[in-house]
Structures are given as structure tokens and as C-alpha cells.
Chains A and B, each alone.
Chain A
Amino acid sequence: MNKQLLLGDEAIALGAINAGLSGVYAYPGTPSTEITEFIQNNPEAKARGIHSRWCTNEKTAMEAALGMSYAGKRALVCMKHVGMNVCADAFVNSAITGVNGGLVVLAADDPSMHSSQNEQDSRFYGKFAMVPVFEPSNQQEAYDMMATAFEFSETIKEPIVMRVVTRLAHSRAAVEVNEAKKENPLNICTERWVLLPGIARKRYVDLIDKQPTMEQAAEDSIYNKVEKGGSKKLGIIACGIAYNYVKEAVGDDANILKVSQYPLPAKKVKQLAQENDAILIVEDGQPVVEEQVAGILGAGYPIKGRLTGDLPRTGELNPDNVAKALGKETGSAFDGAKNLAGRPPQLCQGCGHRDVYTALNQVLAEYPDYRVFGDIGCYTLGALPPFKALASCVDMGASITMAKGAADAGLFPSVAIIGDSTFTHSGMTGLLDAVNDKSNITVVISDNLTTGMTGGQDSAGTNKFEAICLGLGVEPEHVRVVVPLPKNMPEITQILKEEIEYNGVSVIIPRRECIQTAARHAREAKRAKEANK
């Protein structure tokens, strides 16, 4: 045993390595990115040759991990919460096929939307697919639970969801770690996972039959502990990190059911209800448990939580709103400052996306009814001043398909702007639709040679974009590459104008490396040069 200071994400990564992981499959997404990065840089993982290269999107990641599981080895899939939507088809059906080697699906939720477009709660996905969900309350549990989750996955032959939130993923604490276990040997599954209706029906019954085992495991779990103390007026169900805020407010002076493993342990919930006059449910994210508890206890039993307004309906929990719900109001000693202005994030000075927006705004100003459909990445910041360039940002890849739909409806000019990594993540299929329909759209793939917003991870399509566009059927004379620099503005605006006027699909690829990764690469080159002296 030794102690290390680890981010929640790093604790998950090290927990997985030490549990005998053979491959992590992931697409970068805040707040999950550091898990895969840790494995990529970990000496033991390198020595073992644990797979850790970034995947094109969450669906390819989920499927590759399921394949590794089929071959008998332990695999981890990591993503931010909205990635669960992308991989949902593969994920939900992995519960029907079942697994062979342990399979853990890590979803990092982002209540309060620090870096996201919604606050969806991944615990719903676990319930939807009818598989267990683990929700660690601190960094040590995050580490310990990886081994438990892999073992449990292999016991019940089902994938396990591990759900964390931003405040655990991105918070550091000391974690006691143990030695790395051996990886599973290759042990190819002898069953066929062919989900033809006749087979899938049987498999679905198998999954239903496993539910009592999952429920019993949650009742017996060391992570779902009962604490007794204080008045019997209120019992508290504290899920995941909510437990910390509850303990911060009431210490040992409360009756608490800590929940970190689902399905919800219904017997323990009933017992808490019997022993107390009312129950407060404290959970970060959506009222997943609150709705279930209402079902378990029935009408008439007083339940408090996010749905009753005792806790805020939206946004993350914190020590203040939880203390308030427990009648232990915290308070500020000082009022908010008077001389204070918001400081929103912005595109870096010198970033190529800036030049792209400057050119786009200049050219489009000549048209009365243009719209630019945006996508997900640093360039989404083009929606903010000074550019205010975007009409939409919905999900990965939606820029191209929304521009297509709007063009179908008669919008002109209909422009899409998408980053290189987002294009390969989910933009390519939409571009094929547009080509097949000869839609009148202009697609800008702003290529900075990296996945920028999450800190500069490799981008799956680097050096392949012209070939991909041509392969999808974009006409060669309408695939145009420019270098986004202020000095090239006349050329860029001229090309944009020509391609907007072309009645069909055109793709313009402004290509210049992200200034953050360029600076990093320069530093690395300098270090390498000095090391070789």
C-alpha cells in the first residue's frame, strides 16, 4: 500500500490498471478526459501495453470495449455524460448480449453544466439498460470500486456503469493504492452474441432473471452503509458525493443511508422510512432516486428533495444548498463585490478559429438571411462576442445536418462550422447525406490538428480530411484548403464567397495548428534537442 494524491479521474484510471485492465476506449470529454490520459502516461500501463489510444467517438469506443470483453479481457469505456447518448445503442444492447471479460462504462456527469450542454443523469441509463450503477462518494471509493466493478461484472456477466460528477472527477485527495493485478488471459467467449429476435428474447429474460442478484448485491454492498444518530424526525438518503455535503453539515448527528451502488436498495430505504418520520433525498444530478423512493414508499410518506423544492431543481449540490435543506443555513460574512464583471471563456489570441470567424462574418454580412450552424468544440466560443457568429450548437455533428435541413427548407446561405475532431466523431455521415441530396450548404471544417477544448488530444482524422470528403463524394473542385491567418484574409474571403455561391455541397478546410498544442510541441522539441546535446 502507498498513498498518492490523485484526481478522482486519476483514481479511477489507476484503480482500473491495478484491477487488471487490458484496454481503455474513450473519446475526450470534460470531465472524463483525464482518465484516459492518465492511462496513456502511466508507466505500468505502458509496460503492459494496455490499449489507450483515443477512439473516433463514444460508440466506436463502447463497441471496441465490448469486443475486448468478448475475448475475455477487462475493458473500460470512458466518456462525459452526453457521450452515453452517442454510444447508447451499443451500451443498451451490451446488457442484452451480456459480457465475458469485465466491462465498466464510466460516465462523468456535469451538473451545473460547467462544460456541457445539459445536466442529464447517467444513472438513468443504468436503470434503462437494467444494469448496476456504482457512484463513488470520494476518490478512495472511486479507486476501490474499479476492482469491485470488474469482479462484479464478471460474476453477473453484465456491464457495470460507474457514474461520477465533475466535483469528484476534478478534485484531488490522497488515495491508498495497492499492487497491480495480472490481466485476464485471452479467453474467447464460446457463446454467440447474435441478437436476432429469437435469441434476443431469451437474452432479455436472462437479464430480467439477474435483477434479484443485482438488487441483493446493492442491499449487501459495503458502499451502501447505514449510519444512525440524532433525531428520528428525518432520515437522509445521500447518493454519491452528496454524502460529503451531508456529513459536512450534520457530522455524525443524523440517520443516513449512503447510496453508492444501484439498483436502489429498496429494503434499506423501507427500513430508513420506518425508523424516521420523513426522508430527505440528496442526490447530485436529476431526481432519479427521489422518483424511485416515491414509488417504493407510496403516497402518504413524506419525501423531500429536488422535486419538492427542498433542494434546487437544477444545478449541482454544494455545501450551502445541502446545509440549507438540513436546516443548517450557512451564511456569507461579506456581500457580493460591487466592482465585478463576468469573465467568460474566449478563443485564445492568435487562434485560427478567430480568423475563420472574421472571414465568415465579413463575407456573410453581404447576405440578408444567412445562418451559421455551429458544433461542439473551442469554436463554439464563436457564438460569444465579438463574433456572435452562431445560430446553433446542439450535439456533435449537428452543424452539418442542421445546415442541410435548413437548406432543404430554403435557407440561403446555410453554413456549417465544425472542428476536425468533431467532424470525424459525428460529422462524416451527415456530410454523406448532404452529398447524396446535393444540398446547397457550405461546410467549414476548422482544422486545428487536435481536439482542442479538452486540452489537445490526438484527432482521429488528422491528415485525412480531403480524402474523407472526396471519398464521401464532395466534388474535388469544391474541397478547398486555406491557412487561417490575418494576412490570408483576401484569399479566404474570396474562396468563401465562391463556395457559398456554388449551388451544392462545398467544404472549406481552414487548417492551422492550435496555438496551445503548437507551443507544447515547440517545448517538447526544445527539450528533446537539449537531451540529445
Chain B
Amino acid sequence: MKKDIILCGVGGQGILSIATVIGKAATEAGINLKQAEVHGMSQRGGDVQSNLRLSTDKIYSDLIPQGGADLIISMEPMESLRYLPYLAKNGTIVTSSKPFINIPNYPDEAALQEELDSLPSVVKLDIESVAKDAGNARGANMVLLGMAAPYLEIITVDQLRKAITAIFARKGEAVVEANLKAFDMGAGR
């Protein structure tokens, strides 16, 4: 079994934290993993992405081929569309529905949502509002991870919750609880 995932968003939105949680859960579960990140210049308010590959078999390439991604997990709706050529035919997009507009030529919002809705498998949610409702405004990325959890399949929701607990443990119990709550709300639990 394998899951090829593209994580994306805008520099500073916290996509690498999502990768860290999935990475921790996969490692604990004994699943092979490769995760290519982009550091440096592209982080400054530009588009960022990470290729995350999980498999029970050996993984060679650090990068996902075109048409190979089982999942696109995106912190921003337009960014989720940037990697469309990488999405597998039966792949799913899990994305925040709320645009992050820091460029003058951001596309028409209605047309953007329409294009997203025209794709066969898209799950979207205003993750920032959900995170605020959960009392954890900075936890939008964990809401998104929760939304994606049912599609990860190769790792379980319980394994992800354990990974969140382990990763945020050094920041104290309150932070762990807040992130678990955000994750659970995203997962619809």
C-alpha cells in the first residue's frame, strides 16, 4: 500500500507541521516515508509545497510523478489547484476554502470555487473559522489534518492523535489538548 501526498499552501501557513505529524505517525507505525520540502527563497510569502510519500514498500524517488498524488492537502484553495497535474485520477483534494490573497492578480473567487467544485473529489472547509471556534486560532493546520485523516488510510486516526500528542508535548498539556480538539473538529468527531 502507498499514499503519495502533496502538502501545499503559502509560506508561513504551517504545512510543515502537518508533514511532521504525519511523518511521526508513519515512522511509529513502521511505514516507509520520504518527504521533500522546499526551504529558502520560496518561503517568503510565496507558494510552498512538500511531497510526502508513504509506503509499505521501498520508496525510491523523493518526488511524486505527475498523475500520482493520492491526496493534495492544501492550506489555501488556489494553491490546491497549482498541483492539479500531479493529482491521480481517483485522487482527492482536501483544502481550506478561504483564499489567502497577497498578490494583486488573485483569480476571481467564484470562478476558483467553481473550478474546485467541478473536480471529482474535493473536501473543503473554512478551517480558520473552525479553528477559532475551537478556541485555537493557530490550529487551522490541525483542522486540515483532521479533514484529511480519513483519506490517509495507511495510518489511522489514533496514530495521528498519538503523533500530535507526542509532538506538542513539550509545549504543555493545554497546547496538546487544543491541537487535538482542532484535529477532531476537522475529522468531524
Hey, which bits of chain A sit against chain B, CB under 8 A? 3, 5, 7, 30-31, 33-34, 114-115, 167-168, 170-174, 241, 243-245, 247-248, 318-320, 323, 330-348, 378, 381, 453-455
Number of residue pairs A-B, CB distance < 8 angstroms:
152
Residue contact A318 to B103, C-beta cutoff 8 Å: no
Name the A residues within 8 Å of B88 (CB-CB): 333
Q: B65: nearest residue on chain A (CB-CB)? A: A319
Residue contact B44 to A244, C-beta cutoff 8 Å: no
Instruction: Quote the shortest CB–CB distance from A96 to chain B (angstroms).
Output: 34
Q: B88: nearest residue on chain A (CB-CB)? A: A333
Residue contact B66 to A348, C-beta cutoff 8 Å: no
Scan residues 55-74 of chain B and give those whose CB is less than 8 A from a CB of chain A: 59-68
Q: A347: nearest residue on chain B (CB-CB)? A: B44
Residue contact A340 to B44, C-beta cutoff 8 Å: no
Give the 5 A-B residue pairs with the shortest CB-CB distance, closest first: A30-B40, A337-B81, A115-B40, A345-B46, A333-B89
Instruction: Quote the shortest CB–CB distance from A251 to chain B (angstroms).
Output: 9
Q: Given A174-B32, A341-B107, do A319 and B64 touch, yes or no (CB 8 Å)?
A: yes
Residue contact A333 to B41, C-beta cutoff 8 Å: no
Q: Given A5-B27, A330-B67, do A173 and B34 touch, yes or no (CB 8 Å)?
A: yes
For the complex with contacts A323-B65, A339-B108, A343-B103, 6 further pairs of A-B residues with Cβ separation under 8 Å are A170-B36, A171-B37, A334-B84, A347-B45, A453-B40, A453-B41
Could you tell me the distance between the alpha carbons of A339 and B43 in the complex, rounded to whole angstroms?
A: 22
Residue contact A455 to B39, C-beta cutoff 8 Å: yes
Residue contact A114 to B42, C-beta cutoff 8 Å: yes
Name the B residues within 8 Å of A245 (CB-CB): 60-61, 63
Q: Given A340-B82, A378-B44, A455-B39, do A318 and B63 touch, yes or no (CB 8 Å)?
A: yes
Residue contact A172 to B34, C-beta cutoff 8 Å: yes
Chain B: interface residue count, which band?
35 or more
Could you tell me the distance between the alpha carbons of A241 and B108 in the complex, rounded to whole angstroms?
A: 40
Q: Can you report 26 residue pairs joining A to B where beta carbons are below 8 Å apart? A: A5-B23, A30-B40, A114-B40, A114-B41, A115-B40, A115-B41, A172-B35, A173-B33, A173-B34, A244-B61, A248-B60, A318-B65, A319-B61, A319-B64, A330-B67, A332-B87, A333-B88, A335-B85, A339-B107, A339-B115, A340-B82, A343-B79, A346-B102, A453-B40, A453-B41, A454-B40
Residue contact A170 to B84, C-beta cutoff 8 Å: no
Q: Given A171-B35, A453-B40, do A340 and B60 touch, yes or no (CB 8 Å)?
A: no
Hey, which bits of chain B sit against chain A, CB under 8 A? 10-11, 23-24, 27, 32-47, 59-68, 78-79, 81-82, 84-89, 91, 102-103, 105-108, 111-112, 115, 119
Choose among B27, B59, B102 the residue that contacts A343 (Cβ–Cβ < 8 A). Answer: B102
Find the residue from B44, B67, B86, B108 having the highest chain A CB count within 10 A: B44
Name the B residues within 8 Å of A173 (CB-CB): 33-35, 59, 62
Name the A residues within 8 Å of B60 (CB-CB): 243-245, 247-248
Name the B residues within 8 Å of A7 (CB-CB): 37
Name the B residues within 8 Å of A172 (CB-CB): 23, 33-37
Could you tell me the distance between the alpha carbons of A344 and B89 in the complex, rounded to whole angstroms?
A: 29
Residue contact A174 to B47, C-beta cutoff 8 Å: no
Residue contact A330 to B78, C-beta cutoff 8 Å: no
Instruction: Quote the shortest CB–CB distance from B183 to chain A (angstroms).
Output: 21
Residue contact A348 to B115, C-beta cutoff 8 Å: no
Q: B11: nearest residue on chain A (CB-CB)? A: A345
Find the residue from B41, B43, B115 having the highest chain A CB count within 10 A: B41
Name the A residues within 8 Å of B32 (CB-CB): 174
Could you tell me the distance between the alpha carbons of A244 and B51 in the complex, rounded to whole angstroms?
A: 15
Name the B residues within 8 Å of A3 (CB-CB): 27
Could you tell me the distance between the alpha carbons of A272 and B26 in the complex, rounded to whole angstroms?
A: 39
Name the B residues within 8 Å of A454 (CB-CB): 40
Q: B80: nearest residue on chain A (CB-CB)? A: A337
Residue contact A345 to B37, C-beta cutoff 8 Å: no
Residue contact B119 to A334, C-beta cutoff 8 Å: yes
Instruction: Quote the shortest CB–CB distance from B33 to chain A (angstroms).
Output: 6
Could you tell me the distance between the alpha carbons of A453 and B46 in the complex, rounded to whole angstroms?
A: 13
Name the A residues within 8 Å of B79 (CB-CB): 343
Name the B residues within 8 Å of A171 (CB-CB): 34-37, 62
Name the A residues within 8 Å of B41 (CB-CB): 30, 114-115, 345, 453
Residue contact A170 to B45, C-beta cutoff 8 Å: no
Residue contact A168 to B105, C-beta cutoff 8 Å: no
Residue contact B119 to A339, C-beta cutoff 8 Å: no
Choose among A170, A332, A333, A338 the residue that contacts B39 (Cβ–Cβ < 8 A). Answer: A170
Name the B residues within 8 Å of A330 (CB-CB): 65-68
Residue contact B61 to A338, C-beta cutoff 8 Å: no
Residue contact B115 to A337, C-beta cutoff 8 Å: yes
Instruction: Quote the shortest CB–CB distance from A464 to chain B (angstroms).
Output: 27
Could you tell me the distance between the alpha carbons of A253 and B91 in the complex, rounded to whole angstroms?
A: 28
